[in-house]
Amino acid sequence: MGCVHLYCGDGKGKTTAAIGLAVRAAGAGKQVVAARFLKTDQSGEVEILKRLPEVTLIPCEKTFGFTWKMTDEVKREAADYYKSMFETACCEAVKRCGKTEDSRSRKIQNNETCDVLLVLDEVCASLSSGLLELTDIVDFLDHRPAGLEVVMTGRKPPEELLLRAD
């Protein structure tokens, strides 16, 4: 089974490490799927990733502002949006593995290995802000295709992610 990377902690470098791994994987001919939560697409790493044919970047076309300033209504809208981004990224990664996913059971239909990297940037911050559900992420990690490598970034990852990290 592919490794689960968890780049966490205070300070800078988490996204840089994840993007570096994505570029390295693409350079080795691997397919890469990347989703960036809580960030806009207006940054240097997005522009270079768009130029790599091996990389599928899930766009983040909406911004909701700082999480601590969101109203309950905006927070619900953001949670729906980020959940959709997460599901799109996971489905795209599974598809690039040549697999299909049963949306009702979230079980992978084909259990062969794949050579794909999935980057979930700032997924930990999305969890701690209540914008993503831990059960969705854990379920995906536990049922992903063998060989699908996953990189997650952010501060204060929950224990359930720490236990699954290599």
Residues 121, 15: Cα–Cα separation, whole Å: 6
| Contacts of 4 by beta carbon, 8 Å cutoff, 6+ apart | 141, 149, 150, 152, 164, 165, 166
pLDDT tens-digit series, residues 88-137: 999 999 999 986 555 434 444 444 568 899 999 999 999 998 999 999 99
Token pair listed for 95: 């598809």
pLDDT tens digit sequence for 6-52? 999 888 999 999 999 999 999 999 999 999 998 877 777 888 898 99
> pTM of the entire structure?
0.88
Helix%, strand%, coil% for the chain, nearest 5: 45, 20, 40
Terminal Cα-to-Cα distance of the chain (whole angstroms)? 11
In 3D, which of 32, 79, 89, 39 has the Cα closest to residue 61? 39
